């Protein structure tokens, strides 16, 4: 039994077009890592001169989630950042397929793309490719986590992002619901980023708002799945008060599901929040809806890291890895939201 009418094809396409690009951002992170030993050796093997530096003119960006809005913003900003530094950017087209990603990365290693920045869909399976790259003298930068064989990594404090969101939602529940109500979590248990974000938001919320009933924990990272999972939860719990998402994309799907049940967008007893800083979610926050918070990453920060970290490895810099900052934005952060929206444009 489905209490919710399916949106017509045109509405569905419009919704996906609006919200389909946020997941990628969710895949960023930071953890202030020191440079692995492989960094120096890779830089040297990639052609570092006797002074310990080499010239790098091409970087390959392998970001598998090409369907999400963040992808196009990330490519645009990374290309511009590279141009300023005399570096050209090439990209893969993995279409969120781990097999396609592995094939594309092996091709790049065979072509000896001098520096590869990759966000592995399956970290364990990518380890052998990273080893082949570094053995060949190429620079390998892992995005969103760490591998044993790498030159450096670009990390995001996934646990912190989840914690910020969970704490904000718990405070709202205490203030607006008297510490009672029902919450559903849209989670991800498949990759390091998702597991840490999930743990952060659930642990922080349940600790600070123990009187709120957890009625569902569903795997969802994209808007389509977030929509369908939230509709199923609402069929059992039409009085659901809160939905927190491991990504803004999934949370935005829940936001649409709640609206489809007739929930007013300004409902005072509803809270939806996500992670990434996706444009549709940022707009909903700015407009004062019940989409109330996002643990947001700045696309420009990520794009700069995509270019700067490989260049730092090539230059022989010590500790070239970086941690991209995450900040929580809410209805009162309109100036920050405008900055993030401009970067996502």
Gyration radius (Cα) of the chain, Å: 21
Q: Which residues pair with 42 in a beta bridge?
A: none
Q: Is 237 exposed, middle or buried (0-12, 13-18, 19+ CB in 10 A)?
A: middle
CA distance 280 to 95: 21
pLDDT for the residue 48: 38
CA 163 to chain centre: 15
CA distance 153 to 52: 20
pLDDT for the residue 1: 32
* CA angle in degrees (0–180, nearest 5) for 98-148-203: 75
CA distance 311 to 88: 12
pTM, rounded to two decimals: 0.76
Q: Is 110 exposed, middle or buried (0-12, 13-18, 19+ CB in 10 A)?
A: exposed
Which of 105, 96, 94, 115 has the alpha carbon at shortest distance from 48? 115
Asked if residue 145 lies in contact with residue 156, where contact means CB atoms within 8 angstroms, the answer is: no
Please list the pLDDT of the chain residue by residue as tens digits (345 residues).
333 333 333 333 333 333 333 333 333 333 222 233 333 334 333 433 344 577 899 999 999 988 776 788 899 999 999 999 999 999 999 988 999 999 999 999 999 999 999 999 888 899 999 999 999 999 999 998 899 999 999 998 889 999 999 999 999 999 999 999 999 999 999 877 889 999 999 999 999 999 999 999 999 998 999 999 999 999 999 999 999 999 999 999 999 999 999 999 999 999 999 999 999 999 999 999 999 999 999 999 999 999 999 999 999 999 999 999 999 999 999 999 999 999 987
């Amino acid at each position: 039994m489905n209490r919710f009418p399916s949106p017509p094809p045109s509405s569905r396409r419009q919704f996906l077009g609006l919200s389909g690009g946020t997941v990628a951002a969710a895949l960023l992170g930071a953890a202030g890592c020191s440079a692995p030993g492989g960094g120096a050796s890779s830089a040297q093997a990639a052609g570092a001169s006797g002074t310990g530096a080499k010239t790098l003119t091409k970087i390959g960006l392998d970001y598998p989630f090409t369907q999400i809005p963040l992808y196009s913003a990330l490519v645009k900003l990374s290309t511009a950042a590279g141009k300023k530094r005399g570096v050209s950017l090439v990209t893969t087209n993995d279409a969120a397929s781990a097999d396609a990603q592995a094939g594309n990365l092996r091709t790049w290693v065979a072509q000896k793309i001098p520096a590869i920045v990759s966000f592995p869909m399956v970290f364990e399976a990518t380890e052998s490719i990273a080893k082949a790259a570094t053995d060949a003298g190429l620079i390998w930068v892992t995005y969103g986590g760490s591998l044993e064989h790498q030159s450096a990594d670009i990390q995001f404090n996934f646990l912190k992002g989840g914690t910020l969101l969970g704490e904000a939602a718990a405070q709202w529940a205490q203030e607006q619901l008297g510490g009672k109500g029902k919450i559903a979590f849209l989670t991800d248990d498949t990759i390091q980023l998702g597991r840490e974000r999930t743990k952060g938001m659930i642990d922080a919320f349940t600790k600070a708002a123990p009187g709120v009933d957890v009625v569902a924990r569903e795997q969802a990272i994209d808007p389509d799945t977030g929509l369908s999972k939230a509709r199923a939860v609402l069929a059992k719990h039409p009085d659901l008060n809160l939905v927190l998402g491991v990504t803004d994309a999934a949370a935005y799907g829940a936001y649409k599901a709640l609206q489809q049940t007739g929930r007013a967008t300004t409902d005072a007893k509803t809270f939806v929040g996500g992670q990434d800083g996706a444009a549709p979610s940022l707009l909903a926050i700015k407009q004062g809806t019940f989409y109330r918070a996002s643990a947001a990453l700045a696309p420009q920060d990520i794009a700069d890291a995509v270019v700067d970290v490989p260049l730092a490895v090539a230059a022989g810099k010590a500790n070239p890895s970086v941690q991209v900052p995450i900040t929580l934005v809410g209805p009162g952060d309109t100036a920050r939201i405008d900055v993030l929206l401009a970067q996502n444009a």
